[in-house]
Chains A and B, each alone.
Chain A
Amino acid sequence: MSPATWHNPLRDARDKRLARIAGPCALILFGVTGDLARKKLMPAVYDLANRGLLPPGFALVGFARRDWADEDFGKVVYEAVRENARTPFRESVWAQLAAGIRFVPGEFDDDAAFDQLAQVISELDTMRGTGGNHAFYLSVPPRFFPMVCQQLARSGLSQQAPHAWRRVVIEKPFGHDLASARALNSVVEEVFPHDSVFRIDHYLGKETVQNLLALRFANQLFEHISNANYVDHVQITMAEDIGIGGRAGYYDGIGAARDVIQNHLIQLMALTAMEEPVSFEAHDLRAEKEKVLSAVRLPEDLGRACARGQYVAGWQGGQLVKGYREEEGISDSSTTETFAAIKLGVDTRRWAGVPFYLRTGKRLGRRVTEIAVVFKRAPHLPFARTATEELGQNALVIRVQPDEGVTMRFGSKVPGTAMEVRDVTMDFGYGHSFTESSPEAYERLLLDVLVGDPPLFPRHREVELAWEILDPVERFWARHGRPDDYVAGTWGPASADAMMARDGRSWRRP
C-alpha cells in the first residue's frame, strides 16, 4: 500500500482514548546547561515519558561545551527531573529514559564535535531504532542559530530523507526588528524547509490560551457580543514581579516591547480578535491569525497612544529591590524600557473603533497575565442614578496565569432594602475544574514537535506581521528621549495611566 492511501486500521476517529504517541525519534538539545533546558525542557521530556507519550527507544542527546560523559549528562537530566518534573517520579520510566541519554561535548565552531554528534545520532538510529527522525532544539541565544544551522547542514544532520523527518525548534526572540527577523529566518530556512521549523511561543501551549478558542467558538454565550457593538475595549496584560535577574546581557537593548509584546501579547491579541477559523488545522488557524494581524493599525499620534517606563528602586511585596539601572551589567544611562504599553486598532467590521491596549512590564505589582474584554455600559439603566453609582462596566477576563481561569464581572443587587447595584465577579477556576494534572505548556509543545503537529506554532509570516506592528513604535521611542521612571512594585509609570485617561478609560488592576 502506498503511504498516501494507507490508513492505520487501529486508528478510528471514534476511539478518543488513543493518545497521540510520537513515532520513533531522537531529541537533540543544544544549550542543556541553560535555564530553559533545566527548568522546562528536560522535565517536560520526563513527564511525556511518564504519560506514555514518547515512543519506545526514544533518545535524548545533549550538546554543550562541557567535558562530560553520557553519565554526567544523565545526572544533570536526573536532577532537573527530580527538581522540576510535574508528574511523580517512577524508577522504571526513568530507567528507560536514561538508557537513551547521550552527550556530545563541543563548541559550536568545532567541526569534529558535530561529526561526532552525527556519529552518535546514527548509532542511536541503528541501536535504539530512532528511525532517522530527529528534532533539534536550539535552546541557545539566537546569535548562535546561524553557526549551529550551518554545522547541522555541513555534517548532514539536517539532510531531509524519505520516510524520516528532521525538525528544528527555535525560541524567541525572533530578531529585534523586521529586517533582522527576516535575516534570521533565512538562515534557518536555508537549512530546514519552512514546514520543519517550529517556533516556540510557550503561551500558545497553555491550556487557558487554547481554552480561549473553546470559549469563543464552542459557546453561544460570548461570540455574538464579541464585537464593536458591545465591546468598549480590550486590555491584554502580562505583568512580572521579578526584575531582569541575571539576564542583563539578553535584556538590555531589547526591552519589554520586543521581549513580550512582539510575541506573546500580539499572539494573544490575534487569538482574541480573529474570526472563526474553518477548522483548527494549522493552515486554517494561522490564516485567521494572519488576517487579523494584517488588519492591526497603530494610532496616528504614537506619542499619545504609547507609554514606556523603567523601574527604579522601591519596595516590592515587602522587599527593597534595586532599580533597573542599578542591576548588575546595566549601564546607568540605559534607555531600555522595562514597561511598555501600546494602543492598537483592528480595522475590521467586527472591531472598528475598539481599542486593544497591550501592556507588559517587570517589577510590577504582581505576576499576572490576563485578557480583559471590557463591555460598554448598558444603553439605558431603568434605575435611579444613585442605585447604579457603584456599577462599573461588565467584563470578561481570561486569566492566563497564574490561577488560570475565567472571570465574569457584572452588576448585582446588594442585599437589603433599597435597590442598589454593585459589581460582583463570577469565577471559573481552571485550577479547580480540570487541572492539577494539566500538562505544562512545554510538554504539549514538545509533543507537537515530535508528532509533527504545527497549529500552535507561529509561522514566519506571523512573526513578520508582529514586527510590522511594533517597528514604528520602536523607531518613535528611539527618537524620543528615555523611558519614564516607575517605582518597583507599582503598576507602571504615570504616563501609562495618562495614556488611558486621555481615552476616558483606566487600566484594570489585575
Chain B
Amino acid sequence: MIIDLPSTTTAAVNKALIDLRESGGAIALGRVLTLVVVADEEHAEPAIQAANDASREHPCRIIVLVHASARGGARLDAQVRVGGDAGASEVIVLRMFGKLVGHGASVAVPFLLSDAPVVAYWPGEPPAVPAEDPVGAMAQRRITDVAECRTPVAALRDRGMSYRPGDTDLAWSRTTLWRGLLAAALDQPPHERVTAVRVVGGSDSPSTDLLAAWLGLSLRCPVTRVKARAGVGILSVRLVRRSGPIDLDRPDGATATLNAPGQPERRIALPRRTTSESLAEELRRLDPDEVYARVLTKGLARLTGPRPGAAAAEG
C-alpha cells in the first residue's frame, strides 16, 4: 500500500503511520533497526529497492530523505509504503524542497524507532565526514558506497581520512566472498608463508584496492595492485608461496577458478554481489568493523603499483 501526503508535516505523517497500524495492522512487527537513506532523486529509488530486499533479513523502518530541489519555498512531501510495496519493512519517503534540504536530520528525528539502532546509508555522494553529518551523528553505523561516487578512488581515500568507528562502505562488503575463499584456501596444507601478493582489478574498483590492502596487512608482505580496464571489478588474486602460487581468477564476473600447486583446477560460482546482498551483510552487525578500519587507514597506504617492466610473470 502506498499513501501520498503532499505538502505535509512530520506530525501528520506520524499520525498517518499510527492510523495505518490501528486500522490494518499493516505495519511490520519486531523491527530491529531504523535505516535512514540520504539520497538525491537519482539514487533514491534503487536504494529503496535494495533496502526493501535487505529488510527481508533485517526488518526495519526505512526513512528516505530525498533532496528534491533547493529552489522554491520550504516544503515536505511524504509517501508511506507498507505491506507488499515495502518488503518486510515500512518505508517513509520524505522529499525536501527549498530551505528544508539542509535540515534532513530534523525531519528524520520524529520517525526514529525508539530504542532501536539507527543506520545511515548514502547510496550516492556522502558528506565529507559522515560521522559529523547531522544524520550520520545520530547513527551507530554509517554506510557509504564509494563505487557510486564520481571518482571512486579519490572517494575511498576520503573515507580513510574521515574514518570514525562505525563507518563502513559497500565496496568492503563486496570483497567478503573473495576474502572467505582466500582464507579457506590458506586453511589447506602446505601451511607456508605467503611472500608476495598480486591483485588485479578494474582501475576504478575500490573493492580491489581494499582486498589488496587487506591481504597486505594480514599477510605482512608486499602487495602489487594491477589496474585493468575500468568497470570489471575484481579480476584475480595471486598469493605467492615457496611451493608455488595460489591463484583465484574471475575473468568473467561470474565463475572463478582456484589453482594451487599439485592440485587440479577447482571452479566455483562467484557472481558479483548485488547492492542488496551487500547491504544485508552490513546490517548484520552494528558494532564498529575494526578490520575495515585498519585496512582503510593503514593497509591502503602500503599498496604499490607494478614495477615498470615487471609484467604479470612475478611469483
B10 an interface residue at 8 Å Cβ cutoff? Answer: no
CA A92 – CA B58 in complex, angstroms?
A: 27
Q: Given A52-B180, A55-B268, verify A95-B189 contact (CB < 8 Å).
A: no
Q: Which single residue of chain A is at the shortest CB-CB distance from B178?
A: A52
A10 touches B219 (CB 8 A): yes
Which of A17-25, A314-322, A497-505 sits within the interface? A17-25
Q: Which single residue of chain B is at the shortest CB-CB distance from A49?
A: B269
Which of A140-148, A227-235, A429-437, A473-481 sits within the interface? A429-437
CA A3 – CA B187 in complex, angstroms?
A: 10
Residues of A within 8 A of B257 (CB): 56
Instruction: Specify which of B29, B31, B57, B265 is in contact with A437 (CB 8 Å cutoff).
Output: B57
B70 an interface residue at 8 Å Cβ cutoff? Answer: no
Give, as a whole number of angstroms, the nearest-CB distance from B250 to chain A: 11
Q: Given A92-B255, A427-B29, A434-B57, verify A57-B281 contact (CB < 8 Å).
A: no
Which of A121-129, A194-202, A269-277, A285-293 sits within the interface? A121-129
Q: Which single residue of chain B is at the shortest CB-CB distance from A16?
A: B285
Most chain B CB within 10 A, of A10, A15, A127, is at A10
Q: Given A3-B191, A429-B30, verify A10-B179 contact (CB < 8 Å).
A: yes
Residues of B within 8 A of A224 (CB): none
Q: Mark A430-470, 1 if CB is under 8 A from B, else 0.
A: 00111111100000000000000000000000000000000
A434 touches B32 (CB 8 A): yes
B188 an interface residue at 8 Å Cβ cutoff? Answer: yes
Residues of A within 8 A of B187 (CB): 8, 11, 23
Instruction: Specify which of B183, B254, B280, B285 is in contact with A18 (CB 8 Å cutoff).
Output: B183
CA A56 – CA B83 in complex, angstroms?
A: 39
Most chain A CB within 10 A, of B256, B269, B285, is at B269
Q: Mark A288-301, 1 if CB is under 8 A from B, else 0.
A: 00000000000000
A432 touches B59 (CB 8 A): yes
Residues of A within 8 A of B59 (CB): 432-434
Q: Mark B243-255, 1 if CB is under 8 A from A, else 0.
A: 0000000000011
B230 an interface residue at 8 Å Cβ cutoff? Answer: no
A434 touches B58 (CB 8 A): yes
Instruction: Specify which of B173, B254, B266, B285 is in contact with A57 (CB 8 Å cutoff).
Output: B266
Q: Mark B23-57, 1 if CB is under 8 A from A, else 0.
A: 00000111110000000000000000000000011
Residues of B within 8 A of A1 (CB): 191-192
Give, as a whole number of angstroms, the nearest-CB distance from B133 to chain A: 25
A55 touches B266 (CB 8 A): yes
B30 touches A129 (CB 8 A): no
B184 an interface residue at 8 Å Cβ cutoff? Answer: yes
Residues of B within 8 A of A126 (CB): 264
Chain B positions 216-271 with a Cβ under 8 Å from a chain A Cβ? 218-220, 254-258, 263-271
Give, as a whole number of angstroms, the nearest-CB distance from A146 to chain B: 34
Q: Is the interface of A mostly helix, strand, loop or mixed?
A: loop
Residues of A within 8 A of B266 (CB): 24, 55-57, 128-129
B182 an interface residue at 8 Å Cβ cutoff? Answer: yes
Residues of A within 8 A of B31 (CB): 432-433
CA A56 – CA B183 in complex, angstroms?
A: 13
Residues of B within 8 A of A55 (CB): 184, 266, 268
CA A135 – CA B315 in complex, angstroms?
A: 35
Residues of B within 8 A of A427 (CB): 29-30
Give, as a whole number of angstroms, the nearest-CB distance from A61 to chain B: 16
A19 touches B291 (CB 8 A): no
Chain B positions 181-211 with a Cβ under 8 Å from a chain A Cβ? 181-184, 186-189, 191-192, 194
Chain A positions 85-102 with a Cβ under 8 Å from a chain B Cβ? 90, 92-93, 95-96, 99
B191 touches A429 (CB 8 A): no
A12 an interface residue at 8 Å Cβ cutoff? Answer: yes
B88 an interface residue at 8 Å Cβ cutoff? Answer: yes
Residues of A within 8 A of B270 (CB): 52
Q: Which single residue of chain B is at the shortest CB-CB distance from A15?
A: B291
Q: Given A8-B183, A18-B183, verify A57-B268 contact (CB < 8 Å).
A: yes
Most chain B CB within 10 A, of A19, A49, A163, is at A19
Q: Mark A1-37, 1 if CB is under 8 A from B, else 0.
A: 1010010111110111111011110000000000000
Residues of B within 8 A of A11 (CB): 183, 187
Most chain A CB within 10 A, of B177, B192, B194, B280, is at B177
Give, as a whole number of angstroms, the nearest-CB distance from A346 to chain B: 32
Q: Which single residue of chain B is at the shortest CB-CB distance from A428?
A: B30
Q: Given A9-B220, A10-B219, A57-B266, verify A17-B188 contact (CB < 8 Å).
A: no
Q: Which single residue of chain B is at the shortest CB-CB distance from A8?
A: B186
Instruction: Specify which of B29, B188, B215 is in contact with A131 (CB 8 Å cutoff).
Output: B188
Residues of B within 8 A of A128 (CB): 264, 266
Q: Which single residue of chain B is at the shortest CB-CB distance from A126?
A: B264
Q: Which single residue of chain B is at the shortest CB-CB distance from A163?
A: B189
A95 touches B188 (CB 8 A): no
B176 touches A17 (CB 8 A): yes
Give, as a whole number of angstroms, the nearest-CB distance from B56 to chain A: 4
A429 touches B29 (CB 8 A): yes
Residues of B within 8 A of A49 (CB): 269
Residues of A within 8 A of B263 (CB): 129
CA A497 – CA B256 in complex, angstroms?
A: 61
CA A10 – CA B186 in complex, angstroms?
A: 8
A9 touches B218 (CB 8 A): yes
Instruction: Specify which of B58, B88, B180 is in contact with A19 (CB 8 Å cutoff).
Output: B180
Q: Which single residue of chain A is at the shortest CB-CB distance from B190?
A: A1
B186 touches A96 (CB 8 A): no
CA A347 – CA B256 in complex, angstroms?
A: 57
Instruction: Specify which of B28, B30, B189, B267 is in contact with A56 (CB 8 Å cutoff).
Output: B267
CA A22 – CA B155 in complex, angstroms?
A: 35
Give, as a whole number of angstroms, the nearest-CB distance from B170 to chain A: 12
Most chain A CB within 10 A, of B183, B268, B270, is at B268
A432 touches B29 (CB 8 A): yes
CA A50 – CA B220 in complex, angstroms?
A: 32
Give, as a whole number of angstroms, the nearest-CB distance from A11 to chain B: 6
Give, as a whole number of angstroms, the nearest-CB distance from B270 to chain A: 7
- A-B contacts, 9 listed (Cβ < 8 Å): A9-B186, A55-B184, A90-B269, A96-B269, A432-B29, A432-B59, A433-B29, A433-B30, A436-B88
* Minimum-distance CB pairs A-B, first 9: A57-B266, A56-B266, A56-B268, A10-B183, A433-B30, A436-B56, A6-B191, A93-B269, A432-B30
Q: A14-B290, A92-B271, A433-B32 are in contact. List 4 more A-B contacts (CB 8 A).
A: A9-B186, A10-B182, A129-B263, A433-B30
